[in-house]
Amino acid sequence: MSFINEEAIHSTLDDAANTEPARQREALAKARSGERLTLSDVAALLSIRDADLREEVHAAAREVKRAIYGNRLVFFAPLYLTNHCVNNCLYCSFRRDNRALVRATLTQDEIRHEVEILLDQGHKRLLLVAGEHPTQSALDYIGESIETVYSVRRGNNNIRRVNINAAPMSTEDFRTLKSFGIGTYQCFQETYHRETYAHVHPSGPKHDYDWRVEVMDRAMEAGIDDVGIGVLFGLADYRFEILAMLEHVRHLEERFDGVGPHTISIPRLEPAMNAPLDSTNSPWTLADEDFKTAVAVLRLAIPYTGMILSTRERPELRRELFDYGISQISAGSRTDPGGYHRDTHEYAEQFQLGDHRPVREVVRDVLSLGYIPSFCTACYRSGRTGDRFMSLAKSANIGAICTPNALATFEEYLKDFGDEDMRRIAERIVEEEIARMPEPIGRKTREMIERTRRGETDVYI
């Protein structure tokens, strides 16, 4: 199967190299009107160098984001299960040849301990992350770990959605993974550029480009209909990666009745211990300004796909990117197995983080920027996945469900973890949000908040 046609992508990018401003504006107008963009439109947007015109791209992305996702930002935390890995990715500290890394795989007791800490920070949604290893991250172990995560209780709090980022599997194994009750299955192609891919993944099962690029076909065949794709920006030309990722989206939509990926992730290459390749020596390091435009263009090209931003990025840049189309963020993250309960981290982490703030501080910051921190996990539990989620998103009805859920789950967070100061800022933002809602949604939302204040937990529609 070859749905990534490199030649076609290169020729689209070559054609766009000297795009006239009139053509760039035409593509921008099309994006604003909500029309689906062609690869050539996207290449035209990515060819914009003029700062004012770029600002217009950012503004258009902001409008689209607000119209579809409203003001909410969904919070999650990664939970690293193991840093054992048989692959040798040039950019990752978990690579097999990194002998200095302290290797660890969490026991079920340790997982329980980590989850307790994350629950005490207010998290309700976790992303389990694992290196690729036949025994240390075997499917049985993943299943047992998911069961453990869901079983932990702290007062009224529990983890209500477990997503997973792990190596590609066979269709049969994906059926088993689905039976464990996962939300989204994530796996990033890293780079869609075949030659670069082979170079940066010199050995191990990950060396096989096709096995990886077809991973979501197998996951969706197995009935996992919320999948998350991504590229690791900084390995190859970001414009190539964006067009290729859009080809991947189109392929999945064509094959699975209009259902594309539920989310895309946009990690950028960060320095990692003993990793030969990083942003200081890669020829394709993505500068902040280009990264901002990349995020905005992605938002315009696939308006209905959630976009995830991790703590790899610095707080100042995160603040700006929220506005250009981010819908989910991690906060308070650790990238070493056991990192939430251990005091030393430096020899077991996957890569360096840019945002070290605790969850509470990120919540406060997000709130002061006018967003509603959301701890919602409703869709997957209400069966709104795959085509049901897509039709909800495409009818722009996401706001009628997600905003009330965001407000109710945030109220629960405030009740359990907020302080006076946070409640004061929240009150104003929440009132403004409800005032913007049409009836009966506004009334319904007030009821949900009231029920939460009276002590009900996990209130959602």
Q: Are 227 and 183 in contact (CB under 8 A)?
A: no
State the nearest-atom distance from the C-beta of 16 to ligand SF4, in Å.
31
Contact residues for 38 (Cβ-Cβ < 8 A; gap 6+): none
Site residues (CB under 6 A) for ligand SF4, limited to 186-245: 206
State the nearest-atom distance from the C-beta of 266 to ligand SF4, in Å.
16
State the nearest-atom distance from the C-beta of 392 to ligand SAM, in Å.
28
Written as one letter, the residue type at 297 is V
State the nearest-atom distance from the C-beta of 80 to ligand SF4, in Å.
9
State the nearest-atom distance from the C-beta of 231 to ligand SF4, in Å.
13
Which lies closer to ligand SAM via its Cβ, residue 150 or residue 211?
211
Three-class SS state of 379: helix
- Cα–Cα dist 410/415, whole Å: 9
User: Considering the rule CB under 6 A, would residue 131 count as an interface residue with ligand SF4?
Assistant: yes
State the nearest-atom distance from the C-beta of 77 to ligand SAM, in Å.
14
User: Considering the rule CB under 6 A, would residue 187 count as an interface residue with ligand SAM?
Assistant: yes
- Cα–Cα dist 263/445, whole Å: 26
CA–CA distance from 88 to each of 94, 177, 213, 268, 277 (Å)? 8, 25, 18, 18, 11
Which lies closer to ligand SAM via its Cβ, residue 189 or residue 374?
189
User: Considering the rule CB under 6 A, would residue 351 count as an interface residue with ligand SAM?
Assistant: yes
User: Considering the rule CB under 6 A, would residue 95 count as an interface residue with ligand SF4?
Assistant: yes
- Cα–Cα dist 339/400, whole Å: 37
Q: Are 92 and 126 in contact (CB under 8 A)?
A: no
Residue with tokens 């056991």: 338
Contact residues for 179 (Cβ-Cβ < 8 A; gap 6+): none
Stretch that binds ligand SF4, among 9-17, 81-89, 138-146, 155-163 (CB under 6 A): 81-89
- 398-417 and 441-453 helices, crossing angle to 10°: 20
User: Considering the rule CB under 6 A, would residue 94 count as an interface residue with ligand SF4?
Assistant: yes
Q: Write the interaction track for ligand SAM spanning residues 251-270; mark x where CB under 6 A is met and - where it is not.
A: ----------------x-xx
Instruction: List the beta strands (DSSP E) in 271-422.
Output: 306-309, 328-330, 372-374
Which lies closer to ligand SF4 via its Cβ, residue 188 or residue 410?
188
Which lies closer to ligand SAM via its Cβ, residue 312 or residue 384?
312
State the nearest-atom distance from the C-beta of 396 to ligand SAM, in Å.
31
Three-class SS state of 438: coil
Q: Are 178 and 164 in contact (CB under 8 A)?
A: no
Stretch that binds ligand SF4, among 89-97, 152-160, 376-384, 419-427 (CB under 6 A): 89-97
Q: Dihedrals φ, ψ of 374, to 5°? A: -115, 135
Which lies closer to ligand SF4 via its Cβ, residue 77 or residue 359?
77
Q: Of 87, 105, 189, 333, which one interacts with ligand SF4 (CB under 6 A)?
A: 87
Q: Are 81 and 337 in contact (CB under 8 A)?
A: yes
Q: Of 85, 200, 246, 317, which one interacts with ligand SF4 (CB under 6 A)?
A: 85
Q: Rounded to an integer, what is the distance from CA 320 to the centroid of its chain?
A: 16
- Cα–Cα dist 43/247, whole Å: 13
Which lies closer to ligand SAM via its Cβ, residue 94 or residue 371?
94
Written as one letter, the residue type at 41 is D
- Contact positions toward ligand SAM, by CB under 6 A? 91-92, 129, 131-132, 165-167, 187-188, 190, 232, 267, 269-270, 272, 275, 312, 350-351
- Contact positions toward ligand SF4, by CB under 6 A? 85, 87, 89, 92, 94-95, 131-132, 206
